[in-house]
A and B are shown apart, each in its own frame.
Chain A
Amino acid sequence: MNALTSLMDGFGTALTPINLLWAAIGVLLGTAIGVLPGIGPAMAVALLLPVTYGLDPIGAFIMFAGIYYGAMFGGSTTSILLNTPGESAAVVAAMEGNPMAKSGRGAQALAAAAIGHFAGGMIGTVLLVALAPAVAELAVDIGAPDYLAIMVLAFIAVTSVLGSSRIRGLASLLIGLTIGLVGLDQMTGQQRLTFGSLQLADGIDVVIVAVGLFAIGEALWVAAHLRRRPPEPIPVGRPWLGRDDVRRTWKSWARGPFIGFPFGAIPAGGAEIPTFLSYVTEKRLSKHKDEWGKGAIEGVAGPESAASASAAGTLVSMLTLGLPTTAVAAVMLAAFQQYGIQPGPLLFEREPDLVWGLIASLFVGMVLLLALNLPLAPVWAKLLHIPRPYLYAGILFFAAIGAYAVGGEVIDLVTLLIIGLIGFGMRRYGLPVLPAIIAVILGPAAEQQLRRALQISDGSVSGLVNTPFSVTVYAIIVLLLAWPLLKKVVTRRRAEH
């Protein structure tokens, strides 16, 4: 069947008033719950699963899609305003978004994020419609050596966020790698740095690390140096994006999806690595390099767009292969099974109404999300007008409830505080926080892929470079590393002529 006609039929399904209502409720609920600390999209979808039990499958999945996108957006709201990311995909949003909010550009940051989500979701969903079968096949061909090559590329990219002092950036990176080591070894089950504690066996959640380093670390740092004179209220500024902002960000919005979508579709992808890669790409390409770290709007727009597109990519693998690439997809897969529907190779033939209705409702949900959140951005931004003691008390409170609610373990709060104290020390001695967080995300993933690749090749090192994809990536890396050198040679030649 032609994808386009099917999609039109899908819109017929999605645009019935009742399904439109489900989409709207889903988006609202998703945003509201995504804003809560400690509750990421996977948790949100799992918690709201019972709400949909009374609905027919199509209505239920339309609502789910709304919840998924809504929760992802909600997660970045707290990340930007309060420096407390609710989930791992929103960690990057805090890096530039929070400084923007602090300098009175919270509304713009939220608007850039909202439009980023819209653009990323739209482009991602178009790619989903156009490329689903092809991407699905490609996703299967990506193996451990290819992942490893991408991770190496990402580690090279980390050097551009090490900050002004390389050695301090490296120290931060190593602290992150050490935190990433904690837990059972994924391949053999050896305990590493757990000191016999079962609570540490699954490692330290990257959200706990991010909230600890960002939110707790900052609250303590501010406490130590709180301005004693009455603080100037954070300027409100214009509530909307100015023409200048749009000129700076439209390319970032457009670029994000092409980084996010493929990562969403591949089995070990997810949203963390693409959001980070998008951040680094935007930083490289930005004409305003001096603003990075102090609130560069491209640093919010690009990663958010990438995150949203990666969610669309996730749906590709889930719908066509029955392959859950993220926790949310795993929950949605379970939800499909509740209705006796098995996503996978036969889904498009068996349930065309459902699948195309769902895809069409993604477009609808995206429009609703934008319509809902753009006007709300200035309202959210007012949150920062709360007096400082209450604001930081609130951040501590919500960071604590988020860390506690997930597992109900007091030890998680102690871990959070210790990481917060590390974050405090890092601020004091000028160790950048960013490399540490990236190392927590990348380190364990890179190790796992490295060792998996070696196991697949039965220990032979050639197993790391035996695919065209990995060789290509390594070639790119060599070029990137050699580029400054080549440039020097070329310019010298020119000078000689």
Chain B
Amino acid sequence: MTTPTTDLSPAPAERRSWLRDHSELGVCVLLLMLGVLVLTDALTMDVDIAQRGPVGPKTVPVVVGAGLLVVAALLAVDVVRGGRGQAETGEDVDLSEPADWRTVLLLTGVFLGSAVLIEPLGFPVAGALLFWGAAFALGSRRFDRDPLIAAVVSLVAYTVFNNLLGVPLPGGPLMGVL
């Protein structure tokens, strides 16, 4: 909790750090929005079928939506009172340093980009880009090795799925040309 200060100048900084300390309130906002979304969806659903008994297609969504609102409120109270969720620890996780948002954004971008490229460029190309891009984002800088590894992994996976198992994957722009 912050203590009110008489000096005005550090107030914005302080407010920012209060928000940073209570960034978990963002989770409450998200839960609240999700609850509103679920409730709106449920209440705008037009049910034109003879319903038997007290439970129809709207009932469960209404219960879940209301539950989300209640939990959002309770969590907000908990956070303001000083409760904090324990960030997950793990072998490869170092919580002593602040989160590296660049890597996360890079990974997300690589994943999305590859997903979009599957149809035009084929799975082997998109898959290789995904593998290489992810390895790059995670700190691997072997430009003379990584692309080859990525290409081989992607091509082998493609062959196993497409040729051996008969699960069709798009092959790329050269299919049918060669």
Of the candidates B27, B88, B123, which one forms a contact with A404 in the assembled complex, judged by CB atoms under 8 Å apart? B123
Given the known interface contacts A192-B41, A225-B94, A390-B135, the answer about A404 and B157 at a Cβ–Cβ threshold of 8 Å is: no
- B108: shortest Cβ distance to chain A, in Å? 7
Of the candidates A216, A390, A408, which one forms a contact with B168 in the assembled complex, judged by CB atoms under 8 Å apart? A408
**What does the 1/0 interface line of B77-119 toward A look like (CB < 8 Å)?**
0100001111110111111010111011001100110111011
Extra inter-chain contacts (19) besides given A175-B34, A410-B116, A414-B112, CB under 8 Å: A171-B31, A174-B64, A221-B90, A222-B93, A223-B107, A224-B103, A226-B92, A388-B139, A394-B153, A397-B131, A397-B157, A400-B130, A401-B157, A405-B161, A417-B112, A430-B85, A431-B27, A461-B54, A463-B53
- B148: shortest Cβ distance to chain A, in Å? 12
- A422: shortest Cβ distance to chain B, in Å? 9
Q: Is the CB of A181 within 8 A of B52?
A: no
- A190: shortest Cβ distance to chain B, in Å? 4
Q: Which residues of A contact B (CB under 8 A)?
A: 33, 36, 39, 47, 102-103, 164-165, 167-168, 170-171, 174-175, 177-178, 181, 185, 187-188, 190-193, 216, 218-228, 231, 234, 387-390, 392-394, 396-398, 400-401, 404-405, 408, 410, 413-414, 417, 420-421, 424-425, 427-431, 443, 447, 450-451, 454-455, 457-461, 463
Q: Is the CB of A226 within 8 A of B100?
A: yes
Q: Is the CB of A167 within 8 A of B57?
A: no
User: In whole angstroms, how far apart are the Cα atoms of A455 and B52 in the complex?
Assistant: 6
- A453: shortest Cβ distance to chain B, in Å? 9
Q: Is the CB of B135 within 8 A of A389?
A: yes
Given the known interface contacts A394-B153, A459-B52, the answer about A185 and B137 at a Cβ–Cβ threshold of 8 Å is: no
In chain B between 42 and 72, which residues have their CB closer than 8 angstroms to a CB of chain A? Answer: 42, 45, 47, 49, 51-57, 60-61, 64, 67-68, 71-72
Q: Is the CB of A102 within 8 A of B54?
A: no
Given the known interface contacts A103-B91, A234-B91, A461-B54, the answer about A170 and B27 at a Cβ–Cβ threshold of 8 Å is: no
What bracket does the count of chain B residues touching chain A fall in? 35 or more
Closest to B137 in A: A223
Of the candidates B53, B111, B160, which one forms a contact with A457 in the assembled complex, judged by CB atoms under 8 Å apart? B53
User: In whole angstroms, how far apart are the Cα atoms of A405 and B126 in the complex?
Assistant: 13
Q: Is the CB of B115 within 8 A of A414?
A: yes
Q: Name A's interface SS.
A: helix
Q: Is the CB of B169 within 8 A of A404?
A: yes
Of the candidates A165, A193, A222, A408, which one forms a contact with B92 in the assembled complex, judged by CB atoms under 8 Å apart? A222
User: In whole angstroms, how far apart are the Cα atoms of A429 and B60 in the complex?
Assistant: 27
Given the known interface contacts A231-B92, A389-B139, the answer about A429 and B24 at a Cβ–Cβ threshold of 8 Å is: yes
User: In whole angstroms, how far apart are the Cα atoms of A15 and B78 in the complex?
Assistant: 64
Of the candidates B27, B87, B138, B167, which one forms a contact with A47 in the assembled complex, judged by CB atoms under 8 Å apart? B167
Residues in chain A near residue B155, CB distance under 8 A: none
Q: Is the CB of A190 within 8 A of B45?
A: yes
Residues in chain B near residue A447, CB distance under 8 A: 60
Residues in chain B near residue A224, CB distance under 8 A: 99-101, 103-104
Of the candidates A164, A414, A459, which one forms a contact with B86 in the assembled complex, judged by CB atoms under 8 Å apart? A164
Q: Is the CB of B57 within 8 A of A190?
A: yes
Residues in chain A near residue B94, CB distance under 8 A: 225-228
Central interface residue in A39, A167, A220, by most chain B CB within 10 Å:
A167
Q: Is the CB of A425 within 8 A of B27?
A: yes
21 contacts between A and B (CB under 8 A): A177-B64, A192-B41, A219-B107, A219-B134, A220-B108, A221-B90, A223-B103, A223-B104, A223-B107, A225-B100, A226-B94, A227-B94, A390-B135, A408-B168, A417-B108, A424-B104, A427-B87, A431-B27, A451-B53, A451-B56, A457-B53
Q: Which residues of B contact A (CB under 8 A)?
A: 24, 27, 30-31, 34, 37-38, 41-42, 45, 47, 49, 51-57, 60-61, 64, 67-68, 71-72, 74-75, 78, 83-88, 90-95, 97, 99-101, 103-104, 107-108, 111-112, 114-116, 118-119, 123, 127, 130-132, 134-140, 149-150, 153-154, 157, 160-161, 165-169
Residues in chain B near residue A165, CB distance under 8 A: 78, 83, 85-86
Residues in chain A near residue B64, CB distance under 8 A: 174, 177-178, 181
- B142: shortest Cβ distance to chain A, in Å? 9
- B109: shortest Cβ distance to chain A, in Å? 10
Given the known interface contacts A393-B138, A427-B88, the answer about A454 and B112 at a Cβ–Cβ threshold of 8 Å is: no
Q: Is the CB of B55 within 8 A of A410?
A: no
Closest to B110 in A: A396
Q: Is the CB of B100 within 8 A of A428?
A: no
Q: Is the CB of A387 within 8 A of B91?
A: no
Q: Is the CB of B118 within 8 A of A404?
A: yes
Q: Is the CB of B138 within 8 A of A388?
A: yes
Residues in chain A near residue B160, CB distance under 8 A: 36
- A187: shortest Cβ distance to chain B, in Å? 7
Q: Is the CB of A220 within 8 A of B93?
A: no
Closest to B47 in A: A190
Q: Is the CB of A192 within 8 A of B100?
A: no
User: In whole angstroms, how far apart are the Cα atoms of A405 and B100 in the complex?
Assistant: 31
For the complex of A and B, 9 pairs with smallest distance between CB atoms: A430-B85, A459-B53, A454-B53, A393-B134, A389-B140, A459-B52, A389-B138, A413-B115, A393-B135
Q: Is the CB of B45 within 8 A of A221?
A: no
